[in-house]
Amino acid sequence: MKKIKYLAFGISIVLLSFYLYKNFIYYSIPFNPIKEYASESKIDFFMTKNIPDGEGINTKCKDTNTCDLVLEYFSDLKLVPIKDKAAYEMFKYENSTFYTGMLTFNESDKILISDISIDSPNLLHISSSIDGFKSGYYKIVDSTFDYNYIYNLISETET
């Protein structure tokens, strides 16, 4: 009988720990999912500036050195995951200019960086076609997203 009590107590402690990690601790640990891909070669970067009236301005990075600088910038961001509900409260969708970017590795693996708003430059959504990638909303800690740096870094504009 004592063994069953200890087993039940142990299982409840493990479940409580898992719940606390998944709902609180995970969202306080800095983590940048792009950092794992910082050493990749053969990358492309595509960025769209979405204007409120429905138009978009597309830019594409064709120079390898420039693409490396863009990847370095994204991988050096100090990010903390945040819950989707908190992100929706922070992000202003209506009448907002926002950016969407895509990193492509070896022509098949893609990382989509979206919902980068001029009004909320410290919030972004990162998702990927790569198996095991930790998709979700991330808050930039200690800085804001410098969209002018990225946009000016890419010299060729296609509309």
Length of the chain: 159
- State the pTM of this model: 0.82
Spatial strand order of the sheet with 136-140 comes to 79-82, 136-140, 123-128, 109-117, 98-105, 43-50, 56-61, 157-158
pLDDT tens for 21-33 read 888 888 889 999 9
Determine contact, residues 118/133, Cβ cutoff 8 Å.
no
CA 65 to chain centre: 22
For the chain, percent of residues with pLDDT exceeding 90: 28
Which is nearest to 103 in space by CA: 52, 51, 40? 40
Residue 70 identity = V
CB 121 within 8 A of CB 29: no
**Residue 156: is its pLDDT beyond 70?**
no
| pLDDT category of residue 67 using cuts at 50, 70 and 90 | confident
All structural domains of the chain with their residue ranges: 1-29, 31-158
**Pair of tokens at residue 128:** 């990927």
Residue 11 has pLDDT above 90, yes or no: yes
DSSP secondary structure letter of residue 28: G
CATH class of 31-158: alpha beta
Rounded CA separation 146/54 (Å): 23
**CA pair distance 28, 17, nearest whole angstrom:** 15
Q: How many other β-carbons are positioned within 10 Å of the β-carbon of residue 81?
A: 20
